[in-house]
Amino acid sequence: MPETNKELIAAPVIGQNNDGSKSTVELKELIFRNLHYLPVVIICGVVFIILAYVKIRYTIPTFRVQSSLLIKDENDRGGMSGGGGKDQRFEELFMNGGNVNLNNEVEILRSRPVLQRVARDLNLQIHEYSKGSIRSTLKYEDRPFEVNILRIVDSTQPVNLQINMLSDSTFLLNESKQPIAFGQPFQVGLNSFALMRNRMLGLHLFPVRQFEVSWFSMADEVEGILKSIKVTQANDQATILTLSYEGENTKLGKDILNTLMAVYDSLIVEDKNRIAFITLRFIDDRLENLKNELSGVQGNLKEYMANNQAFNLDDQSKAFLETISNGTKLKAEQEVQLNVVNWLLEYIQSGKNLYNVVPTNLGIEEPALLQLMAEYNRLQLERENNLKTTTPDNPLIQQLNTGLEKVRSNIYQALMNVRQAYLIAGKNLQEQEARLQGKIQTLPGKSMHLLNISRQQKILEDLYSFLLQKKLETSISSASTISNSKVIEPAISSEVPISPDKKKIYMWYLILGLAIPIGIIVLLQMLRDKVRNRSDVEKFTHAPILGEIGHSSNEQTLVVTKNNRHFIGEQFRIIRTNLQYVIGKKEKPVIMVTSSFSGEGKSFISTNIAAVMALTGKKTVIMEFDIRKPKIVSGLDLKRKMGLTNYIIGRVSFQDLLVKVNEVENLYVIPCGPIPPNPAELLLDPLLNELMAEVKANFDVVIMDTAPVGLVSDAMNLSRFADCTLYIVRQGHTFRKQLNFVEELYVNNKLPKLSVLLNDVKAEEGYYGGYGYGYYGAYSYGAESGYFEVDSKNRGGKIFGGLSKLWKRWFG
């Protein structure tokens, strides 16, 4: 074949255009191939935008309320006191705790007991909603009436009331038609309620007078608050907590946050006051006992002095008495401390004080004991705080109980050690006193007895004074107790709702509205495994494309006649022109027509190729070699007679085979004849060579309509007689994977001068499917350009025709 002819019919490199810009061609092909789906995508996007508007319009807006709370570290008071040092005495006096743990404070703020106090203070168990046609609105400050709960039988079950206000004085309850006056008690089941009209809000302020009232149990209400509230640390370095609440009513959110901070503040003060109260109660008990003991000692002294007339002592005993007095003073101090230790031992061993804090600051200067008592009180408070958010069976509480038991045991052991030390010191003092008493044996026994009574009185008086001082200090500490929290910023709300987010909703709905149709389109494209246009052929095979034949709505197989100016006829004329470059200067060419499967229009193409050749004055014959499934004769509505199989078996002459086609001059058909049992072997008979010689001698152009090469080997056997091969690929019918078979045939030259002919091309199928040699884009608009005749059956109404075309484009 001449090089010029190759350039005219050869297809471009697979997947590339002539200048090698592969991606540009593929992108353009993808866009224009699916351009007819654009109205569907636009409509779907508009529908989803409308759905987004409806969602935004009828979704209850949610606002965020936020506040800040400072948790002060009471061990660090440098900024408050004006100095960097700490006064240990001052810290003890005001009973400050250890370092603050923000995680514990967050859990306390979110604990159910704390939230229960908030719900109870704000009466949040009752919800009032104004009913609308689409949604209901929560009423908080602008409630038209208040609900008084007279009796709730089951506090765990919610109660719902439907209220329809008739006037300022009456309303209807649920489905009842009997009006009820405001303030009049009524029953719902076994529960009793009464509605009190809010006269501050006139009836004209409520265009919709239907309301829904719901009462929830405390557990359900606390659960609802817990879901809406968040407590987070502002940053890792600060001891500031950020409290936020999300809900539809900003005033309700502000009240909840402000009340929560107030309740938390009061809890801290209550804890400190409880420690002070326990200490004062302990001191009062000891003072009452000391008072009774002191009264008894004073009575004994008075009675002894009166009975024994012991009002003055000998001057001679002054020196000894001074020495004994000093020892007595030291012994009295030891006795006071020993009594305090004994009282503390009694207190720590008492079962009723098992989970109470231990009184401190009672004058025992043992550092290890003071440290143990401080640790014990800290664990008691931590256990009590954790019990607000959990149960006694919690492993954390059990762990704290174990720690308390261990520290309590250590305190007991430390007290026993201190007591033993005091006993040893007292014993030493007693021994010293005994030695001194031996020196004053000459002194009257009265004087010695009086001295003993005075010593007991001194001990009790000192102890009584000591406890009075501690009571005063504890009372001052309790009166000056302050919280370690401070409100940095009261609750404030945003003017713009955080939900629904208009921009985000519109964006996601638009993306969804575009993604759904595009995804469906892409899925349909992926599921389509058949040839859709010329571009598919070019991608899968290097075989040259001879041309394209559009879809014919004519029921007749023969569409090419002498005076026919139909569009399909002109396309066959283009094919005839292109064939000249394939067969070259061959005087009597033999053209073989085949395909992959049945139904690809092979007989239709053979008939009209032969007709368009005959119109040039060349004597043309169609040989019906598809002897398994012949269609040429029936398609031309000819009477069947003897055929190829009769000739091969020697029962008919060549002239008896020819059948004239009356519609086209110079066009003849050689039928296949009866279908033999062995078609493949029959086509290998030597008589077939003689028949082909007769045909070439009597005709200028020979068209061999063969069986599909993808199914049987007939076409391969007949290819020895052909000068070129037309391989029919039907749009929407031929599988793309069959093009790999075409590529194999073309590359290995298994069929002579193979060229692809794309059949049944529809304009709706895409951008690249509509260009031929000489008419670029002809299938998109060429059929209606006025150059061709239009079938009368296609002259339907424009409206219905246009709708039909759109339907086929989108869903066909």
In a domain, 194, yes or no: yes
pLDDT tops 90 at residue 621 = yes
Residue 10 has a pLDDT of: 36
Q: In the chain, pLDDT over 70 holds for what percent of residues?
A: 82
Instruction: Over range 657-682, report the average pLDDT.
Output: 87
Tokens linked to 125: 């168990």
Using only C-alpha atoms, what is the Rg of the chain?
Answer: 55
Q: Is residue 406 part of a domain?
A: yes
Q: Are 350 and 427 in a shared domain? A: yes
Supply the pLDDT for residue 80.
38
Q: Is 16 within a domain?
A: no
Assign 654 to helix, strand or coil.
coil
Residues whose CB falls within 8 Å of the CB of residue 761, separated by 6 or more in sequence, listed in order: 533, 534, 548, 549, 550, 551, 731, 769, 770, 779
pLDDT score of 579 more than 50 = yes
Q: What is the pLDDT of residues 454-481, one digit of tens each?
A: 778 788 888 888 888 887 887 777 776 6
State the pLDDT at residue 30.
Answer: 67
Are 185 and 168 in a shared domain? yes
Confidence bin at 444 (pLDDT 50/70/90): low
> Do residues 479 and 558 both lie within one domain?
no
Tell the burial category of 233 from Cβ atoms under 10 Å away from its Cβ (0-12, 13-18, 19+).
middle
pLDDT > 90: percent of the chain: 22
Residue 19 counted as domain residue: no
pLDDT at 587 over 60: yes
* Same domain membership, residue 230 and residue 314: no
- Domain match, 538 and 604 both: yes
CA distance 471 to 468: 5
- State the pLDDT at residue 776: 35
8 A C-beta contact, residue 148 and residue 161: no
Does the residue 27 lie in any domain?
no
What is the torsion angle, in degrees rounded to the nearest 10, for the CA atoms of residue 376, residue 381, residue 386 and residue 392?
A: 60
Residue 28 domain-assigned (yes or no): no
What rounded mean pLDDT belongs to the chain?
79
**Distance between CA atoms of 514 and 19, rounded to whole angstroms?**
34
Distance between CA atoms of residues 47 and 41, nearest Å: 10
What is this structure's pTM? Answer: 0.52
pLDDT tier for residue 768 given thresholds of 50, 70 and 90? very low
Distances in Å between the Cα of 138 and the Cα atoms of 62, 212, 341, 502, 743 are: 12, 9, 62, 22, 73
Helix axes 318-349, 395-439, angle to 10 degrees: 160
Residue 724 is assigned to a structural domain of this protein: yes
Name which residue leads in pLDDT, 484 or 608.
Answer: 608
**Domain span at 513:** 34-59+500-527
What's the whole-number mean pLDDT along residues 110-131? Answer: 90
- Are residues 741 and 707 in contact, defined by beta-carbon separation less than 8 angstroms? no
- Residue 723: its pLDDT value, please? 92
- Say how many C-beta atoms besides its own lie within 10 A of residue 373's C-beta: 25
Domain boundary (211, 240, 266) is at 266
**Cα gap 180→176, rounded to integer Å:** 10
Residue 802 CA, distance from chain mean position: 45
| pLDDT above 70 (res 90) | no
Looking at the structure, tell me whether residues 680 and 735 fall in a common domain: yes
Q: Does 561 share its domain with 536? A: yes
Asked if residue 443 has pLDDT above 60, the reply is: no
| Residue 239, both tokens | 């001891």
Asked if pLDDT for residue 512 goes beyond 60, the answer is: yes
Q: Is the pLDDT reported for residue 304 higher than 90?
A: no
Q: What pLDDT, in 10s, does the model give residues 316-369? A: 456 566 777 777 777 777 788 778 888 888 888 877 877 788 887 777 777 777
209 and 318 assigned to the same domain = no
Q: Could you say which of 232, 251, 266 is where a domain stops?
A: 266
Residue 5 lies inside a defined structural domain of this protein = no
**What is the distance between the alpha carbons of residues 138 and 131, in angstroms, rounded to a whole number?**
9
571 and 429 housed in the same domain: no
More confident call, 279 vs 22: 279
Considering the domain architecture, whether residues 508 and 403 belong to the same structural domain is answered as: no
d(Cα 613, Cα 700) in Å, to the nearest integer? 9
Torsion of CA 149, 155, 160, 163, to 10 degrees: 0
Q: How many domains does the chain have?
A: 4
Residues 338 and 461 in one domain: yes
Compute the average pLDDT of residues 16-37. Answer: 61
CATH code for position 667: 3.40.50.300
| pLDDT over threshold 90, residue 61 | no
Q: Does residue 551 share a domain with residue 505?
A: no
Of 489, 510, 541, the position where a domain reaches its end is: 489
